[in-house]
Amino acid sequence: MQHFTNSDYALNKYSEGIVYRFADGIVEVTLADYIAENPGKSKADFLALKELSDGIYYTQDRAYSAQTKKNTPIDGVDEFLLCLVPSAEEIVFDVVDAIAESEQRQEQLNIVDCVLDKLTEVQRRRYLMHRLEGKTTREIAAAEGCSQQSVVECLAGADKKIKKFLSKP
């Protein structure tokens, strides 16, 4: 765990200048350096910048501390991983469930195919545009160059055929 006095926040907080840590070393910008580089700036500007950098480093330090508290020690990881392996029964049940869901989906698709076969070509096209693509009757009418009323009547007829087909025993 990182020692607090070695943190970027501590380095910056307890120095007179603004401290930057790079991979190859530490750079400190003092008040004299800041004013020499920025002739139009004052000591108040430098102190405001130092306060801002302190706040940024503080936030980073808090985030780092919060994350390290979430880290799990490596001791006992092997035993924990063994607990995560599913049992043979769970694997078999998962496979059986997947097969049943697949068969159910195939049965539903077969029903949909049968239902769509009962519709005329125009009904099927408009019904799919309305139900699957989410187009409104006005959009369908505009796309096909017909009246909205004819699309509404066509969809009502398709719904009637579908309900009749599905109500058969």
Number of folded domains that form the chain: 2
pLDDT digits (tens, 9 = 90+) for 7-50: 666 777 777 888 877 778 888 888 888 888 888 888 888 888 88
Residue 30 forms part of a structural domain: yes
Q: What angle do CA 46, 62, 49 make, to 5 degrees?
A: 5
Same domain assignment for residues 122 and 89: yes
> CB atoms < 10 A from the CB of 53, how many?
19
Cα→Cα distances 74→6, 67, 79, 101, Å: 25, 16, 11, 40
CA 134 to chain CA mean position, Å: 25
CA distance 129 to 123: 10
Chosen domain end from 19, 48, 70: 70
Q: Which residues lie below 8 Å from residue 10, measured CB to CB, with a gap of 6+? A: 4
Classify residue 79: in a domain, yes or no.
Answer: no
90 lies in the same domain as 113: yes
**Domain extent at residue 50:** 4-70
Span 111-165, pLDDT tens digits: 888 888 889 999 999 998 998 899 999 999 999 999 999 999 999 999 998 888 8
- Given 70, 101, 119, the domain boundary residue is 70
* Prediction pTM value: 0.41
Residues 124 and 160 in one domain: yes
Residue 15 lies in a domain: yes
Residues 132 and 101 in one domain: yes
